[in-house]
Amino acid sequence: MTKIQLFFTGIFSTLLAITVTAQKKDIYIDKIDSIITASSPIAFNGVVLVAQKGKIQYLKSNGYKDFEKKIPLKTDDQFEIMSNSKQITAVLILQAAEQGKLNLHTPVKKYLPSLTQTWADTVTVHHLLNHTHGITDIEKPAAFKAGSQFKYGNLSYMLLGKILKNTTGKSFTELAQTLFRRLKMDKTTVYDAKNNLSVVPGYMNGNNTFEKVKETFLNDDIAPAAGVISTVLDLAKWDQALFKGKLLSPEFQKKMMTPSTTSQHNVFGKESMGFGYNIRFIKEAGLDYYAVTGLGDGFTCLNTYFPSTDTTLIILENQMPENREYWSFKEAAIKNAVLKVITPK
């Protein structure tokens, strides 16, 4: 083959690769469009972002910020991100551990001396982080031996918020806000009952009839577990910082990114998969990826990161189905559409 032939063959191969990539992108754009605009079996009301290598590939909103006034959602609207908040708390705890202010494997009694139950002498910070603590009520005995089972909930991260305060001298809100400013997550904040006028309201969805949540369950105590408010664009910045190792030293990044127990979640299948410090480690369709979910208070959230293609998928909805069968239903469908396109053939 001559040099000229090689040259044109190279150009053809490059153009073919670009064309195939564009076609694959069009496929999932069309698929996501059809998912978020379909009202059956349940309507989608929120924002979807797909970014690859730091560049936005898909960003659309569908539905209403306010159903009564018919005010449409915007792509930069602020949502309660529910349990996605726990991942931020986990990073703050690891940063405190890096600084020598706490030890992940020290019983929590050292940091919360007012605890009276015997489990405080065996449950460690590590057990709180990965939900293997067994605590159901701070005034009651543990339901199981620390480290022996997984049981997801808010209580452990509420305790982690108190540990942050006692070991750093700063509240969760102070620490989180400093981190958000550092990452230029300018539309991310922590719930404040006095100042959340720009946050979209949450709705309960019963057969596509939307009823506004009149009274939030958020307060200062639960903020480390569910109280962060953000946008899809800011959460994309969070993913880039977390998964590119910009928040923690290599030692503590490894701790964050290592599964230490297992858990099952219907969005990712029926099998139990790895779970760490509020990160799910998923193996699906030939890919390893990370995910975190959130649900409650009239909100549904999903944040997934696919490291092999540096792809982030973030979905925020200000609606929560009353029927458990449809919890995170659209999130799973959108995730599957993206997964199908980026899965290696």
CB atoms within 10 A of CB 180: 21
**Structure confidence at residue 15 (pLDDT):** 42
**Structure confidence at residue 342 (pLDDT):** 86
**Structure confidence at residue 90 (pLDDT):** 98
**Structure confidence at residue 343 (pLDDT):** 80
Which residues face 282 on adjacent strands?
289
Locate the domains of the chain by residue range: 38-342
Q: In what order do the strands lie in the sheet with 287-296?
A: 55-62, 46-52, 311-317, 299-306, 287-296, 280-284, 273-275, 261-263
- The pLDDT tens digits of the residues spanning 269-288 come to 999 999 999 999 999 988 99
pLDDT < 70 positions in the chain: 1-25, 345
Q: In what order do the strands lie in the sheet with 189-190?
A: 79-80, 228-230, 189-190
Task: Spell out the CATH class of 38-342.
Answer: alpha beta
* Token pair belonging to 174: 């102070």
Residue 299 in contact with residue 63, Cβ under 8 Å?
A: no
